[in-house]
Structure 1
Amino acid sequence: MKKLVVKVELHDDRDRRKAMRVVSSFEGIGSLSMDSKDNKLTVSGDFDPVKVVNKLRKSWHTEIVSVGAGKEDDGKKDEGKKDEGKKEERKKDDQVANLVKAYQAYCSTPVTHYCVPPEGTLNCVIC
């Protein structure tokens, strides 16, 4: 989870809407908020901050205020869900690890190719 805060020079509401639309088109955006008074755009989620800033810089003057890890929700209601989520992640990680091991075992055996000349020819030049 990442949190990106950028200052974007926007002149009117139309530019603000365009900037919000451009940023929201990226995959992995969790939340998006705009402080119109300070022209600060806050983006959080699992995304690439470099791509977001580059896209904004194509149309507007953009300054990076901060980039860092985003805060997870610390609510007591979510604690049970977090434990269940961790268990599910462990199961998925175990499944992926098992699949990787199986694939490596399958692909580690050497593959031997034999060239058998067709009947009637004495030598096989190109195999």
Structure 2
Amino acid sequence: MTAKKAVLQLSVHEERIRQKVFVRVSRFPGVVSITMDDKTGKMTVVGDVDVPVIVMKLRKICNADIVSVEVVKPPEKKPEPAKPDPTKQPEIAFPVQMMYPYQYQSSYANSYYQPHYGTSRVIVEEPNTCVIM
């Protein structure tokens, strides 16, 4: 489907009904924008929607009629301005210091679990350990 601009004539006399109409229309998939002129009672819905289905749902709330449906043309693309030459490399004013992910951090010394860097662990079992039950 293509994007459409639908103008609907609604008879909305209360603010509560107006809010219900906005909520009902905004829940349809594909709706891009909704505008309403309170003086004339015309609502404009823009998007990839099925207009007769919207009108059927709105007739449960208020009187609704289709005034016009137009196909929205996509905006014309303007030619892009010339880009600077990408082959020229910018100069670096100061050297960049690289952070190595496995660099020793002094904060590990105070933590409960210390990092393990592939060294084997030695577990010493003492025969004279005391266990109180």
Q: Deviations over 1:7-64 (max 9, x none)?
A: 1000121111110110000000011101111110100111111111110111211111
Q: Hey, what's the Cα distance between the residues in 2 that align with 1:43 and 1:73?
A: 18
1:38 to 13, 37, 40: 40
**Identical positions, percent:** 41
- Rg larger in 1 or in 2? 2
Q: Following TM superposition, where does structure 1 have runs of at least 4 consecutive aligned residues deviating by more than 4 angstroms?
A: none
Secondary structure of the corresponding residue to residue 72 of structure 1: coil
Pick one of 11, 15, 18 that aligns with 1:16.
Answer: 18
> What TM-score, normalized by structure 2, do the two folds share?
0.54
Deviation of the 1:73 alpha carbon = 3.0
Q: Pick one of 4, 7, 12 that aligns with 2:6.
A: 4
* CA RMSD in angstroms, aligned pairs only: 1.7
CA 1:75–1:15 in 2, change beyond 3 Å: closer, same or farther?
A: farther
* Structure 2 residue ranges without an equivalent (≥5): 81-133
Q: Which runs of 5+ in 1 are unaligned?
A: 81-127
Q: Is the Cα–Cα contact under 8 Å of residues 17 and 61 in structure 2 kept in the other structure?
A: no
Distance 1:23 1:30 in 2: 11
- How high is the TM-score relative to the length of structure 1? 0.56
Deviations 1:83-114 (A, max 9, x none): xxxxxxxxxxxxxxxxxxxxxxxxxxxxxxxx
1:28 maps to 30
Cα distance change on mapping 1:3 and 1:14 into 2, 3 Å:
same
1:53 is aligned to 55
User: Greater helix share, 1 or 2?
Assistant: 1
Count how many residue pairs are aligned between Structure 1 and Structure 2: 78
